[in-house]
Amino acid sequence: MIGRTEFYNMKSALNYSKKILLVSGLAWVLWGAVSEFYQIAWGTGEWVGEFSRTWAVLYYAFIFLCIMLFVLFFLLAWKRELLAIYIDRFVALRRSLGNFRWALWLIVFIAPVWLFQFTVWGIVLQKFYIRILVWIIVVCLLAILASDDDSLAGWRQFLSVFILTSSLFSVAASLNLVNNYPFSQGWSEGNRLWDYSVLFGRNRYNYPLEKDIPVYLDFGRQFIGGLPFLIPGITISVARTWVGLTQILPYFLLGFALFRIASKDKLSWFLLTLWTFLFLKQGPIHPPLIICAALIALAWRSRLWLAIPLVIGAGYFAQASRFTWILAPGVWIFMLEVASASFSERKPVAPILKRATLLVVLGIFGGVFLSGVISRSQNLIQQEFYPVEVSAPTVTPTPQVAQEAAPAPVAANEPENSYPPIVNFFIDKLTFQPLLWYRLLPNSTYGTGILFALLLAVGPLVIVLFSLMANNIWQITRLQKLLLALILLAFLVVGLVVSTKIGGGGDLHNMDMFLISLLFVGAIAWDSGAGDWLLNESIVPALIKGLIVLSLVNSAIWQLQEIRPFDFAKDANWIKTLVDVQSERDLDMLPLQEDVDAALQIIQEEVDAAQLHGEVLFMDQRQLLTFGNISGVVLVPEYEKKWMMDEALSEKISYFEPFYADLAARRFSLIVSEPLHTPIKDSSFQFGEENNAWVKWVSSPVLCYYEEKETLKEVGVQLLVPKNEPVDCSTQLP
């Protein structure tokens, strides 16, 4: 056994190591921040070296501030007694502020988002270490202001403000694209808004009512994203606000439902809801699956009459949203019901297993049978009222379709196999597109790689869970451990395989079922006594505290980096000097309003003229039709950019043959697209394989038959018209 002396020596050594680690970490951040500030200030003038007078003063003042911060932190860590009198005076001052300190707390809380998202300095100070330093200062100030005892701040205050600030950054980043800019703010952002509009707002388009408009989107996401289009005259800024809220509210709903066990302590309940949001945003995860998980969380430990419809609804909505989610609700409810049961109290096992089994069966019923009945009923009604024949390229995917796009019809001479449909589906999902296994490791598409990013995202929680079990704080049986391990392993393997599929691997969103399952495990542990232990500052080891902080940092640091304004194009000339970029385009700001208006006018004029000679295809920028920025267009629904990309990744010639025939026949008098290019790239480029597929199946064929009429670089639009002379493109086609 370890003697008392050895124990205290070990504790002293650990405390010493903790101080060294904290001081060294702060020194690293301060040094990085000073280096980044130097990059901003250098090149602004010739007063001292390449410093202007103003920026030289600011730079040296920033160095002085960083030195003072380091000295203060060092003294707090190593020579706290030297600051004791000042700490007492500060605590007394805090008491004298009364409720005014909460107004001051709110100002400090909002300040970083205001600075980074709503002022021009959000572009200038878009530096990693500078933002980390700001975050550290804000967390320390907020924790100190929130404390009520005689100390500067405690673990609870520190943890609370860390969660609050992290959540604020993530919320701000989710709403970062809310504006009235009519053009797309990303590769698929504009066309995705068009997708959302079709379900409830198809009357916005000039297209026969008896025909379906094909949309490359699963039913669940289309339904959730399309709700605002029930509002007549909705604007693009309102639609973007709703899209941003769908990246926030479902997470809150899940956390609220999952941790309602902590409802007696309202603050803890609220903070756990925010932690749920932060943990899952590391994916991020599509809202329909989050909503399904929230329904399961509500069903957990609810009365059977309430749990049954919740589980059935979750099963149906999961399958209607994405076929690969079909088993998740049933697995989750079984895991929650069985793994959270306390068998140590000698409660009968049979009632628990009966309830869990019943709910699993009902979850599968909702996903497999109920969705099939509803889908067949919808098809019968549609055939009764709209008996139209739809060609293969324009088939609308039904809710039960496994993938987002409609599958190609089976050829008449293709032999049928004897596998069940669900087995055929999973075989097809694993073989119809290439798997890029290298994306599990660091690569140009996703710098950290899937494996390392996943380790950062879930590693701290996993270690905390193992620590809880090792210290008998969370007590579960071996069979419960085996159940949790098998479920997590199954979802982990599925997520890793799907993440390597071409077109993916750029983030952790394909790890969705695994992340939610691990969240559920954390909720089970919290309910089993871990909550009281984790909030007890005197008994929680420093290592566990550090892991919790690391998890919060990892969940919000990239969100903090994304917070920035986009509407300071008028100041681009001096901003690019401070940011040290060669071109104003590198600042990634929205164009001036006069440039936007001019681009819209050019597109409208070209569309009006082109429609006199043929059809106009909006391969991209379809949201211009959705919100009336371009009017009088007869919709050509097929050949949408995202759908074409997915078919290109699958190398599905049956999809592209009609497209190439239309190009050769000069069906379209005008094509509206993103600027098309034909460079071939390798895996050292971001999404190099996806680029090559797009070039092979789309860019090269289109540019063979069509030529550039005009390219509007400011808004990322290219107008293409048929070449004057017939051309032989047989060598350019796949």
**Distance (Å, rounded) from C-alpha 291 to C-alpha 472?**
33
Output 432 or 89, whichever has higher pLDDT: 89
Instruction: Give yes or no for a contact between 91 and 152, defined as CB atoms under 8 angstroms apart.
Output: yes
Dihedral, CA atoms, 203, 204, 209, 215, nearest 10 degrees?
A: -110
433: phi then psi, degrees, rounded to nearest 5:
-140, 150
Task: Identify the helix (H) or strand (E) that includes residue 586.
Answer: none
DSSP, collapsed to helix, strand or coil, labels residue 129 as helix
For residue 403, the model assigns a pLDDT of: 35
CA end-to-end span of the chain, whole Å? 74
Output 537 or 275, whichever has higher pLDDT: 275
Two structure tokens written together for 448: 């950290």
172-195: pLDDT as tens digits:
999 999 999 999 998 889 999 999
Predicted confidence band of residue 260 (pLDDT cuts 50, 70, 90): confident
Burial of 679 (0-12, 13-18, 19+ CB in 10 A): exposed
315-358: pLDDT as tens digits:
988 888 888 888 899 999 999 999 988 776 566 778 888 898 88
Determine which of 177-181, 577-581, 676-680, 709-713 has the lowest per-residue pLDDT on average.
Answer: 577-581
**Residue 654, pLDDT above cutoff 70:** yes
Q: Return the number of other C-beta atoms located less than 10 Å from residue 259's C-beta.
A: 23
**Residue 638, pLDDT above cutoff 60:** yes
Instruction: Give yes or no for a contact between 404 and 216, defined as CB atoms under 8 angstroms apart.
Output: yes
3-state DSSP of 332-386: HHHHHHHHCCCHHHCCCHHHHHHHHHHHHHHHHHHHHHHHHHHHHHHHHHHHHHC
**Residue 379, pLDDT above cutoff 60:** no
**Distance (Å, rounded) from C-alpha 72 to C-alpha 67?**
9
- Residue partners of 167: CB distance under 8 A and separation at least 6: 274, 277, 278, 556
Write the DSSP symbol of residue 125: T
Determine which of 361-370, 605-614, 700-709 has the lowest per-residue pLDDT on average.
Answer: 361-370
Phi-psi map region of 216: left, alpha, beta (phi>0 left; psi -120 to 50 alpha): beta
- The whole-model pTM stands at 0.88
For residue 428, the model assigns a pLDDT of: 60
Total residue count of the chain as it appears in this document: 734
Q: Return the number of other C-beta atoms located less than 10 Å from residue 394's C-beta.
A: 16
**Distance (Å, rounded) from C-alpha 182 to C-alpha 164?**
33
Beta bridge partners of 708: 720
Predicted confidence band of residue 444 (pLDDT cuts 50, 70, 90): confident
Taking CA 514 as the corner, what is the angle to CA 511 and CA 518, rounded to the nearest 5 degrees? 135
For residue 611, the model assigns a pLDDT of: 92
Burial of 686 (0-12, 13-18, 19+ CB in 10 A): middle
Residue with tokens 């000039």: 206
Over residues 112-138, the mean pLDDT reads: 92
**Distance (Å, rounded) from C-alpha 300 to C-alpha 280?**
19
Two structure tokens written together for 613: 């000679």
Output 44 or 727, whichever has higher pLDDT: 727
For residue 372, the model assigns a pLDDT of: 62
- The rounded radius of gyration (Å) of the Cα atoms in the chain is 29
Instruction: Give yes or no for a contact between 278 and 164, defined as CB atoms under 8 angstroms apart.
Output: no
Over residues 284-295, the mean pLDDT reads: 93
DSSP, collapsed to helix, strand or coil, labels residue 405 as coil
- Residue partners of 554: CB distance under 8 A and separation at least 6: 282, 456, 457, 460
- Residue partners of 365: CB distance under 8 A and separation at least 6: 312, 315
Two structure tokens written together for 426: 């999973």
**Distance (Å, rounded) from C-alpha 95 to C-alpha 147?**
10
Long-range residue pairs from 382-391, CB within 8 A, at least 24 positions apart, any chain: 386/210, 386/211, 388/210, 388/211, 390/211, 390/212, 391/658
Candidates 676, 637, 638; CA nearest to 657 is 638
Question: Looking at this protein, which amino acid is placed at residue 104?
Answer: L
Burial of 248 (0-12, 13-18, 19+ CB in 10 A): middle
Candidates 650, 594, 644, 653; CA nearest to 619 is 644
Q: Return the number of other C-beta atoms located less than 10 Å from residue 429's C-beta.
A: 16
- Residue partners of 724: CB distance under 8 A and separation at least 6: none
Q: Return the number of other C-beta atoms located less than 10 Å from residue 100's C-beta.
A: 9
Q: Where are the beta strands (DSSP E) in 500-580?
A: none
Two structure tokens written together for 645: 């990309």
Task: Identify the helix (H) or strand (E) that includes residue 672.
Answer: strand 668-673
**Distance (Å, rounded) from C-alpha 282 to C-alpha 550?**
13
Candidates 334, 333, 320, 407; CA nearest to 368 is 320
Over residues 295-311, the mean pLDDT reads: 92
**Residue 377, pLDDT above cutoff 60:** no
For residue 491, the model assigns a pLDDT of: 95
Positive or negative: CA dihedral 173, 240, 329, 295 = positive
**Residue 445, pLDDT above cutoff 90:** no
Positive or negative: CA dihedral 511, 514, 517, 519 = negative
Instruction: Give yes or no for a contact between 375 and 383, defined as CB atoms under 8 angstroms apart.
Output: no
Q: How many helices (H) and strands (E) does the chain have?
A: 30, 4
Predicted confidence band of residue 494 (pLDDT cuts 50, 70, 90): very high
Over residues 358-381, the mean pLDDT reads: 69
Instruction: Give yes or no for a contact between 469 and 521, defined as CB atoms under 8 angstroms apart.
Output: no
Per residue in 161-172, is it b (16+ CB within 10 Å) or e — as a string? Answer: bbbbbbbbbbbb
Over residues 10-24, the mean pLDDT reads: 71
**Distance (Å, rounded) from C-alpha 440 to C-alpha 419?**
31
Task: Identify the helix (H) or strand (E) that includes residue 249.
Answer: helix 249-258
Beta bridge partners of 616: 670
Pairing of strands 717-722, 668-673: antiparallel
**Residue 99, pLDDT above cutoff 80:** yes
For residue 410, the model assigns a pLDDT of: 36
Question: Looking at this protein, which amino acid is placed at residue 429?
Answer: K
110: phi then psi, degrees, rounded to nearest 5:
-85, -25
Per cent of the chain over pLDDT 70 is 88
Two structure tokens written together for 239: 């639609």
Instruction: Give yes or no for a contact between 592 and 181, defined as CB atoms under 8 angstroms apart.
Output: no
Output 249 or 79, whichever has higher pLDDT: 249
56-67: pLDDT as tens digits:
899 999 999 999
Candidates 670, 725, 664, 734; CA nearest to 700 is 734
DSSP, collapsed to helix, strand or coil, labels residue 177 as coil
**Distance (Å, rounded) from C-alpha 202 to C-alpha 190?**
16
- Residue partners of 402: CB distance under 8 A and separation at least 6: 322, 323, 324, 425, 429
412-426: pLDDT as tens digits:
333 444 555 555 555
Predicted confidence band of residue 151 (pLDDT cuts 50, 70, 90): confident
Candidates 222, 251, 292; CA nearest to 513 is 292
